Amino acid sequence: MLESPIIIVNYKTYSQSIGKDALKLTKTIEKTSEKNWAVCPQPNDMRMLSENTNVPILSQHIDPIDPGSNTGDLLLETMKDSGAEGTLINHSEKRLKLSSIEKVVGRCKEKDMVTIICANNPLVAGSAAALGPDFVAYEPPELIGGDISVSTAKPELVEEAVKRVEKIDPDVGVLCGAGVKDSEDVKAAIELGTEGVLLASGVVKTEDKKEVIKDLESGL
């Protein structure tokens, strides 16, 4: 299980986080950080990262399938064998139907994998909590990749998401994402009741990654 408070970095398919660059970034996080971090690399890089670093690895996505006749899908067993300790589910760039989300969560529980369901508004966050994931990550799509974080632009919605999740299942942790870029954003997210942040370009696309890592961590 992931320990919180935590900073999770989604490598997406950025050119700065492919192959050897993904390994270099993950090792930089490992050597620079003193608190809890996890990363979501591209599928082909997961085994390399898990075998060469101690940073928790999460899959960016898992499809709602069982082993068998499937082509081009991401199978849970394959992701776990590659080193994934858990997965993002329903990211705004990889939406799933409710029935698919429920199946992925269920299969992950059977395999002792951490589940993080992404939600685009507080109402969806509450509904996601009813499925029993480990975390719900609240991320307004319009702020993802932007210069303004949700924790500072829409703090009242973060608070609402936290309250809705707590009302449904107080054991489900809430993460905050979209536009997070510095310690002030992280600090604001924690003060609003979340257990950490989910970000991507704020780390992956920066020049001085060590400085950014230290700065973000100081907000926890």
pLDDT digits (tens, 9 = 90+) for 55-76: 999 999 999 999 999 999 999 9
Active-site position among 91, 160, 195, 217: 91
110 is catalytic: no
pLDDT digits (tens, 9 = 90+) for 167-181: 999 999 999 987 788
Triad 72, 118, 52: Cα angle to 5°: 60
61 is catalytic: no
Amino acid at 64: P
Active-site position among 61, 139, 160, 217: 139
Q: How much of the chain, in percent, has pLDDT values that exceed 70? A: 95
Averaged pLDDT, 103-116: 98
pLDDT digits (tens, 9 = 90+) for 120-175: 999 999 999 999 999 999 987 766 666 667 676 678 888 999 999 999 999 999 99
Alpha helices in the chain, H assignment, sequence order: 20-32, 46-52, 76-81, 98-110, 122-129, 150-153, 155-168, 183-191, 201-204, 209-217
Domains and CATH numbers, the chain: 6-66+74-209 (3.20.20.70)
Highest averaged pLDDT of the listed ranges 84-93, 143-152, 178-187: 84-93
